[in-house]
Amino acid sequence: MRNSIWVCVSMLALVACADKTVVGGLDAGMESSGDGDGDGESTGDGDGDGDGESAGDGDVPVEHPNTGAYLLAVETNLGPDLPLVFIATITLELADDGVTWLADFHLQPLSMNQGESDPGEPVGPALEYLDVVIVDDGFKLDMGEVDVMAAANPITGSDLTMIGALLGQFVGSDALCGDLEGMLVSPLEADLAGSNFAAIKVADISPEALPVSFPYRCDMLP
């Protein structure tokens, strides 16, 4: 009789242990099914801003290889080999259609000694041109009326005013060049036909780091 009671107690204990193991296993599984921190919650893949949404590939900005800082030199037909020089910061971004590239040009004139071609310090206000359409790496930058300070004019060393446009093309990822068309309107009137420009990327725009030899025509590009 005692043996029978012991067997029954043992069997009940075994069943109880088995039940506890199953229940405990289910509980543990429910707690660890989330994000691995045991709280049953899932973080999701999200976009990192806490709203649970995914940024998607379409939100990743695409940088155009021609975005950067350039030394831009404009040689007019009024002063061969005596170019007007600018630091040109060019930023290209995709338009809303996802196909067309638009360029912003920030042109800072540099001081130039009369009769010399070594670029100096930034002088005068910068020129801003926004949303210039780029087609097959080509562009037309309508500059409108531009006042050039005497300190930036190596030709005569005096103030001048011109109306012009740059017709250019990006060349590779670190240069651009083309023609300048327009008119000099002050201190005298003259056609600017036959004028040129070129620009090369520079890593450092500080005056002491700028090259003393640089292109100002397409045929001078490296």
- What single DSSP character describes residue 39? S
Radius of gyration of the chain (CA): 35
Say yes or no to pLDDT of 68 above 80: yes
Does residue 160 surpass a pLDDT of 50? yes
- HSE-CB of 147 using CA atoms within 13 angstroms: 6
Give pLDDT tens digits for 177-210: 999 999 999 999 999 999 999 999 999 999 999 9
Share of the chain above pLDDT 70, in %: 73
CA-to-CA distance for 117 and 151, rounded, in angstroms?
12
Quick one: pLDDT at residue 70? 98
Quote the CA–CA distance of 215 and 117 in Å, as a whole number. 11
| Element holding 6 (H helix, E strand) | helix 2-31
The two tokens of residue 85 are 């020089």
Residue 157, phi-psi category: left (phi > 0), alpha (psi -120 to 50), beta (remainder): left
Q: What is the mean pLDDT of residues 88-99?
A: 96
pTM for the model stands at: 0.73
Which two structure tokens, joined as six digits, stand for 184? 């000099």
**Residue 29 backbone zone (phi > 0: left; psi -120 to 50: alpha; other: beta):** alpha
